[in-house]
């Protein structure tokens, strides 16, 4: 693969690693006290991200400002992914701040990144929990710099995929409630249905394939994620969130 760099110390332009790499992250939703993020990578002057039509290339931060009014766009800034102090309320995040973090240098360009990952992130394979923008960012960062996306950006996805039988049903109830309260229109059917085209996807499996080390363990995306071992399960947190949410004439 030939790409190896990291934040702080690591190979630089003098070593042939001439492409600047950045991680961009925007908090977009809060569910059961947890924060959900949209992330992407920026290589030199182009942003790369994944959605339902595949890997896209755009000007920097394009995907983070799609739903914002021009006058309300947040200024990008350098910061950590740690939670802010204070109470976290559930629901869509109205005031969105995009955080841009330098990730070092890479010997691989953005176009080389797309060529390497395109067959693994094809049109129609997107899933909001199992194969989303954060999944792509995790793989892209490893391909470019051999670093992983911090686990603090993927807490919701990891908890959902670990308890999918219980959590998917509760998530549908909660998301449906949010939409009904926001629009005043009754929502029928499920909000989220797993995409069967992403059911067999494995981030760690793809990284092992890219590295050509199928018999070795890849780095964990949760390295450096300071979470308590006794953190309540997703089912417990969703149940608590749901019990505090009023449904109009509907019971769980």
Domains of the chain by range and CATH? Answer: 18-82+92-239 (3.90.1720.30)
- List, in sequence order, every beta strand (DSSP E) within the chain: 19-31, 34-43, 46-51, 54-58, 91-92, 98-106
pLDDT band at 70 (very low <50, low <70, confident <90, very high): very low
DSSP H/E element including 134: helix 133-145
| Most confident range, picked from 75-79, 121-125, 158-162 | 121-125
Q: Please say whether the beta carbons of 133 and 198 come within 8 A.
A: no
pLDDT band at 187 (very low <50, low <70, confident <90, very high): confident
For residue 209, give both structure tokens: 């394939």
Residue 8: Cβ-neighbour burial (10 angstroms; 0-12, 13-18, 19+): exposed
**How confident is the model over 204-219, as pLDDT tens digits?**
899 888 887 434 434 4
pLDDT of the residue at 162: 76
pLDDT of the residue at 47: 98
| Distance of alpha carbon 141 from the chain centroid | 12
**C-alpha span between 203 and 224 (Å, rounded):** 18
Q: Other CB atoms closer than 10 Å to residue 12's CB: what's the count? A: 12
């969703």: which residue's tokens? 238
Mean pLDDT of the chain: 75
pLDDT of the residue at 13: 83
**C-alpha span between 76 and 228 (Å, rounded):** 30
Residue 42: Cβ-neighbour burial (10 angstroms; 0-12, 13-18, 19+): buried
pLDDT: is 88 or 189 the higher one?
189
pLDDT band at 223 (very low <50, low <70, confident <90, very high): low
Mean pLDDT computed over 82-96: 48
Mean pLDDT computed over 167-192: 77
pTM: 0.69
Q: Other CB atoms closer than 10 Å to residue 158's CB: what's the count? A: 17
Q: Is the confidence at residue 69, as pLDDT, over 60?
A: no
Q: Please say whether the beta carbons of 186 and 249 come within 8 A.
A: no
């149940």: which residue's tokens? 239
pLDDT of the residue at 77: 35
Q: Is the confidence at residue 98, as pLDDT, over 80?
A: yes
């Amino acid at each position: 693969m030939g790409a190896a760099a990291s934040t702080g110390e690591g190979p630089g332009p003098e070593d042939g690693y001439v492409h600047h790499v950045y991680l961009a992250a925007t908090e977009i939703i809060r569910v059961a006290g947890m924060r959900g993020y949209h992330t992407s990578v920026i290589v030199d002057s182009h942003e790369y991200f994944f959605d339902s039509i595949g890997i896209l290339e755009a000007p920097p931060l394009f995907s983070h400002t799609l739903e914002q009014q021009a006058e309300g766009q947040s200024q990008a800034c350098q910061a950590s992914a740690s939670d802010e102090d204070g109470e976290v309320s559930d629901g869509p995040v109205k005031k969105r701040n995009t955080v841009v973090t330098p990730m070092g240098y890479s010997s691989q360009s953005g176009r080389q990144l797309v060529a390497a990952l395109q067959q693994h992130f094809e049109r129609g394979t997107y899933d909001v929990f199992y194969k989303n923008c954060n999944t792509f960012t995790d793989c892209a960062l490893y391909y470019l710099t051999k670093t992983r996306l911090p686990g603090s950006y993927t807490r919701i996805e990891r908890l959902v995929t670990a308890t999918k039988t219980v959590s998917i049903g509760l998530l549908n109830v909660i998301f449906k409630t949010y939409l009904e309260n926001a629009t005043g229109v009754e929502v029928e059917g499920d909000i989220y249905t797993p995409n069967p085209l992403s059911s067999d996807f494995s981030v760690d499996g793809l990284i092992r394939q890219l590295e050509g080390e199928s018999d070795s363990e890849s780095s964990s995306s949760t390295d450096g994620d300071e979470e308590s071992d006794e953190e309540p399960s997703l089912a417990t947190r969703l149940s608590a969130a749901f019990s505090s949410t009023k449904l109009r004439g509907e019971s769980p």
